[in-house]
Structure 1
Amino acid sequence: MIEMTVNGMTCGHCASHVTKAIVGLHPQAKVRVDLPSKTVTVDGEVDLDEVKAALADDGYVVTGVKAL
Structure 2
Amino acid sequence: MGFFSNLFGGSAEGQEKFVYIQGMMCQNCAEHVTEALLAVPGVLKVNVNLPRGRATLRVTGDVVEKDLLKAVVNAGYGVSKITEQKED
TM-score (norm 2): 0.69
Runs of at least 4 residues off by over 3 Å: none
* Higher radius of gyration, 1 or 2: 2
RMSD over aligned Cα atoms: 1.5
Structure 1 unaligned residues grouped into runs of 5+: none
**Distance of 1:28 and 1:35 partners within structure 2:** 19
Q: Are 2:18 and 1:21 aligned? A: no
Query: What per-residue deviation string (whole Å, max 9, x for no partner) do you get for residues 30-66 of structure 1?
Result: 1011011100010112221011012111211110122
Aligned length: 68
Q: Kindly indicate whether structure 1 or structure 2 has the higher relative contact order, using CA contacts under 8 Å at least 6 residues apart.
A: 1
Structure 2 unaligned residues grouped into runs of 5+: 1-15
TM-score (norm 1): 0.86
**Closer/same/farther in 2, CA of residues 28 and 38 from structure 1, 3 Å limit:** closer
SS of corresponding position for 1:55: helix
Residue 77 of structure 2 is matched in structure 1 by 60
